[in-house]
Amino acid sequence: MEKGLFKRTLRPVRNACYRSVSRLRSMAGKERRILLYMSGDAMGAHIRRYCEPLLGEKAYRFFLYAPDFPEKDDPKNEFQQFVLGRGIPLCDRPRRHAWDLIVCADLRIPGGFTRDMTPILYVNHGPHIISADGGETLYCYGENARGKDGKPKFTKMCEANQGIMDIMADVDPDLAAVMVHTGFKFAGGMERALQRRVEYRRLLGVTPNTCLVGLFGAWGENSLFHALDEGIFDACDSLRAYGYQFLFSVHPNEYVQYDPRIQPLGPLVEFQRERGMLVRDPREDYLPYMAACDIAISDFGGMAENAILARRKLIFSPFPDGIVWKHSLAAQARKRLPALESPDGLKFLLDAVRRDPVDPFILEAGARLVRRDHDQVMEALTRELLRMPVADTGEIERSRI
């Protein structure tokens, strides 16, 4: 009890010290120190996308806190190569330093820090879809987005979808107050990838007349490869004689034992290379693979909305209704688009989807995720959090689609 009281008494003093150090450094004209927090492998691409456009700013100095950052040089690990190539130093004990800004792609924050201590920015790690309470509320804007005091634990939270912004304004004004509409961070990259679609297909060995079907799985017992079981691989292999080729991509968590009750399927996905099918290494950029596909099959993961953004024909794998938030784009899409209930129905469904044009819903929904000025919005938001002069926001608004 006394220890807890001591901590509560000390906390305001500690917070004031952290704020003072940052402000004194700023007043002295010194660099702003920004800590990038990568809480897991899946966060790397999102952290990179945030900081890459800002690396040319001389006033910023970036540091990376990544507890699982690989020690050995891995040429296939694109995030590791980015960090090493740009000379971003690693910081294994962030609590020993005062930061001007902390950037997180997940709801986890480096231990010991609060928004009262230093500004904390949530840049998310994909479209906001998942629900933890049967679809009633959105996971990322639920209790895990709040601190012990019940208030939002982030200074600002980036949201890609204006529709979600509008809904949150009604259902949770407190969280809505810290949300910023940014558009989807990979929208520009997706457009550039689509422009190189022919090149990517050639590099993958996919002929012009071949229909490339990408199966993009999340992780967990309800994810695509678990729901459709091993039979999906045999079904795919049998359809290659009908002008189809298949690409498999699964969440990096499926390469480790994340649950003693569940056998991870990463190794089985990798084995499909030996059968002549294509496999995306989870350390590789997914954009070229998505752009190369003609049809995408996805579950409740973010790849479903990525497929919509890429204007790909989309099929859902089976999963319980309550996994996705009832207001999410994925929930809306699932009501409109076809679903594959078992591997036995794969050929019939693919043949039908292959013949039909892209559903207008996909084109309309994808457009709502795009802001051409995403990078300018993020630059202005960063400067605001760092208490630096910000450009005319009217110019940013006028450049929107």
Closest residue by Cα to residue 120 from 92, 93, 157, 171: 157
Strands (E), 116-177: 120-122, 156-159
pLDDT of residue 132: 86
> What's the rounded Cα separation, in Å, for the pair 270 and 280?
9
- CA 152 distance to own-chain centroid: 20
Structure tokens at 187: 């929208």
* pLDDT tens track, the chain, 401 positions: 455 554 555 556 555 665 566 565 555 567 999 999 999 888 999 999 999 999 999 999 999 999 989 989 999 899 999 999 999 999 999 999 999 999 999 999 998 899 999 999 999 988 788 898 999 989 899 999 999 999 999 999 999 998 899 999 999 999 999 999 999 999 999 999 999 999 999 999 999 999 999 999 999 999 999 999 999 999 999 999 999 999 999 999 999 999 999 999 999 999 999 999 999 999 999 999 999 999 999 999 999 999 999 999 999 999 998 999 999 999 999 999 999 999 999 999 999 999 999 999 999 999 889 999 999 999 999 999 999 988 654 444 433 33
Domains of the chain and any CATH numbers: 2-185+372-398 (3.40.50), 187-367 (3.40.50.2000)
Global pTM value? 0.84
pLDDT of residue 390: 83
> What's the rounded Cα separation, in Å, for the pair 375 and 372?
8
Residue 179, classified by CB atoms within 10 Å of its CB into exposed (0-12), middle (13-18) or buried (19+), is buried
pLDDT of residue 216: 98
Can you name the residues that pair with 35 across neighbouring β-strands?
63, 102
Tokens 């990322």 belong to residue: 140
Tokens 């009890």 belong to residue: 1
> What's the rounded Cα separation, in Å, for the pair 1 and 358?
62
pLDDT of residue 11: 53
Name the DSSP class of 154. Answer: S
- Let me know how many helices (H) and strands (E) the chain has, helices first: 17, 11
pLDDT of residue 80: 95
> What's the rounded Cα separation, in Å, for the pair 88 and 54?
13
pLDDT of residue 397: 46
Q: What is the identity of the amino acid at 1?
A: M
> What's the rounded Cα separation, in Å, for the pair 396 and 242?
49
**Phi then psi dihedrals of residue 62, to 5 deg:** -95, 145
Closest residue by Cα to residue 144 from 106, 114, 201, 101: 106
